[in-house]
Structure 1
Amino acid sequence: MRIEEKSSAYTCIKFSREGRILTATLSRPQAMNAVNAALHEELSRLFCDLADDEGSDVLVLTGEGKAFCAGGDLIWLQEAIDDPEVFLRMGGEAKRILFSQLELEKPLICRLNGAATGLGASLALACDMTIASSNAVIGDPHVSVGLVAGDGGAILWSQLVGFARAREYLFTGKLAKAEEAERIGLINRVVAAEQLDDAVYGLARELAAGATRAIRWTKIVTNTPLKALAHQLFDMGLAYESMSNVTRDHQEAVNAFRERRRPAFTGK
């Protein structure tokens, strides 16, 4: 089945093709592609649908507009505070997002066209290769909103840049400019914004012209240690994030963001 036959089930993700290359574009540009309940649910089945798509061998993930994905939507975060059942539902979806992305056999390239933060960063880093525009930034500022980086960040960052650098970025929530992200090995390559499509789709065409089965099976072997680590750690990270969802500091961070001021954390 081709994904176009399921496209009516997607309201926040668009699809386009070039030969055997299929592009999925996060499409909430008015909100910098921030993740709300609808987009989160769609992401929880996206990678399974991409895996089943009969018309593609190589996949590209990108964002519409100036951002790749600006993490969690403010209104959605408040809903999860007000009703913990919302967060529990989010947790199940978050697990499906990460594991289905890691289980995907087709090579997946991230076209990092702009800011990728929080879940957006995890989506980018769980891709097989990430090529960024020079104006992109990436980071996991969960702690900046009083949350644990439990939806993949604490697993992915340390494997890519080592524990020392991962702790610095995860504990402070600071963002890395594209050039710095490339320097420390977080992403593969940085190019000028006007060269991004040539770089991404040049690589995609190279892979599409390659030995499809050999590439897929090499990916399976390469991803096996990462999948084992995710199975070991993800539930614990999600449990701690669930606990942080009901802290006063998280509510304060959401309030501060809404009021456009710095949060005053109390450690509660």
Structure 2
Amino acid sequence: MRYEDFQFLLFDRQPDGVLLVTLNRPEVMNATNNRMHWELTQIWSIVNEDPAVKVVVVTGAGERAFSAGGDLSVVEEMANSQEATLRVMKEASDLVYNMLACDKPIVSAINGTAVGAGLTVAMMADISVMAEDAKLTDGHARLGVSAGDHAAIIWPLLCGMAKAKYYLMTADFIDGKEAERIGLVSFCAPRAEVLAKSLAIAAKLARGSQAAIRATKKSLNNWMRQAGPIFDNSLAMEMLCFLGPDVKEGLAAVRGKRAPDFPSARLPQ
């Protein structure tokens, strides 16, 4: 692929070899449809091979969201199609491992709500800057499926097992200040300053020793690679959940803007 082949990612070359990548579906808060989800798996190898790029900054279009998760139509498709589930499972795996394989530093500018595949990009970035009043949630348990996209491979490393278990099992939202406090993101900042701070960090990295920075990233990423079997298992468990009745109730509850009544939570009669 070439940069011009992407439909839902915008590219803006900054000084010093910094590439700004913008998730661009602002009319739906940058939620990922099938095409955008696939594009997020492809971009990392392209920037990795681009000699003009030293650092990547990724953010969301508009003022409301980094990415508000996956389109509900995609979730519904997965709940009713093994083919769709297997496709998304492969792409979810590729997204995580392709980001790990990218030698160049990735900075996420989390300018608003972050959920789902977009949250994967935000959290798997090497450095993250989040708006103080923005909110993120893994969100899977809220839908009736287990946390699988990226959480098991990195949340315990970022914020510790106690916080990871709580937030992944409850799917509670976390704002930028709390995310920074528990170590889930590198920094928080006022919303208006998030992108500027992220670009400043990227520019600093771009002026540094590229050999040293990339080798450091590669070494530290081995912590995540060690957790690869944990991630692979979590992803498989997530997909199994799409075969059960809870996800259908979760989907209906989200669409109806009501609390879910999961079949698995009901006491036996």
**TM-score between the two structures when normalised by the length of structure 1:** 0.95
Q: Look up the match of 2:141.
A: 143
SS in structure 2 at match of 1:150:
coil
> Does 221-230 or 70-79 show the bigger shift?
221-230
Aligned positions of 1:122-161 closer than 5 A: 122-161=120-159
| CA–CA distance in structure 2, aligned partners of residues 195 and 150 of structure 1 | 31
Write the distance in 2 (CA, Å) between the matches of 1:215 and 1:267.
Answer: 47
Tell me the residue number matched to 2:239: 242
Whole-angstrom CA distance in 2 between matches of 1:58 and 1:234: 26
Tell me the residue number matched to 2:82: 84
Q: Which of residues 2, 12, 16 in structure 1 aligns to 2:12?
A: 16
CA positional deviation for 1:212? 1.0
Q: Tell me which residue corresponds to 1:67.
A: 65
Which residue does the alignment assign to 1:226?
224
Aligned pairs, number: 263
After TM superposition, the structure 1 stretch with the greater mean CA deviation from structure 2, 145-154 or 163-172, is 145-154
Question: SS of the residue aligned with 2:145?
Answer: coil
Query: 5+ residue gaps in structure 1?
Result: none
Report the secondary structure of 1:59's partner residue: strand
Between the aligned partners of 1:8 and 1:144, the Cα distance in structure 2 is 36
AA aligned to 2:24 is S
How far apart are 1:68 and its partner, in Å? 0.5
Query: Alpha-carbon deviation of 1:126?
Result: 0.5
Instruction: Give the CA deviation at 1:119.
Output: 2.4
Q: What aligned pairs does 1:186-201 form with structure 2 within 5 A after superposition?
A: 186-201=184-199
State the one-letter code of the partner of 1:12.
F
Give the distance between the partners of 1:31 and 1:145, measured in 2 at CA. 19
Structure 1 position 204 matched with structure 2 position 202: yes
In the alignment, the residues of structure 2 paired with residue 193 and residue 167 of structure 1 have an alpha-carbon distance, to the nearest angstrom, of 28
1:176-195 pair list within 5 angstroms: 176-195=174-193
Q: Which residue of the other structure, out of 145, 167, 170, is the alignment partner of 1:169?
A: 167
| Deviation (angstroms), 1:207 | 0.8
- Aligned counterparts of 2:86 and 2:7: Cα–Cα separation in 1: 23
Amino acid at match of 2:258: R
Residues 119, 140 of structure 1: 8 Å contact kept: no
Q: Aligned residue for 1:255?
A: 252
The answer to whether the Cα contact below 8 Å between 1:154 and 1:170 also exists between their aligned partners in 2 is no
1:55 lines up with 2:52 in the alignment = yes
2:263 partner SS: coil
**Alpha-carbon shift at residue 118 of structure 1 (Å):** 2.5
Distance 2:42 2:127 in 1: 21
- Between the aligned partners of 1:187 and 1:107, the Cα distance in structure 2 is 15
Contact 2:89 2:235 in 1 (8 A): yes
Q: For 2:193 and 2:223, how far apart are their aligned partners in 1?
A: 33
Q: Which residue pairs with 1:264 in the alignment?
A: 261
TM-score by length of 2: 0.94
Once the two structures are overlaid, the 10-residue window that deviates more, 148-157 or 176-185, is 148-157
Partners of 1:198 and 1:115 lie apart in 2 by 18
Separation in 2, partners of 1:58, 1:70: 25
Shift of 1:259: 2.1
- Work out the percentage of aligned pairs sharing the same amino acid: 34
User: For the residues of structure 2 that align with 1:260 and 1:182, how far apart are their CA atoms?
Assistant: 29
Shift of 1:234: 2.4
Query: Does residue 76 of structure 2 align to residue 42 of structure 1?
Result: no
Amino acid at match of 2:36: L
Q: Secondary structure at the match of 1:264?
A: coil
- Say which SS state the counterpart of residue 102 (structure 1) adopts: helix
Aligned equivalents of 2:195, 2:91: Cα separation in 1 = 30
Instruction: Check whether the contact 2:37–2:91 (CA below 8 A) recurs between aligned residues.
Output: yes
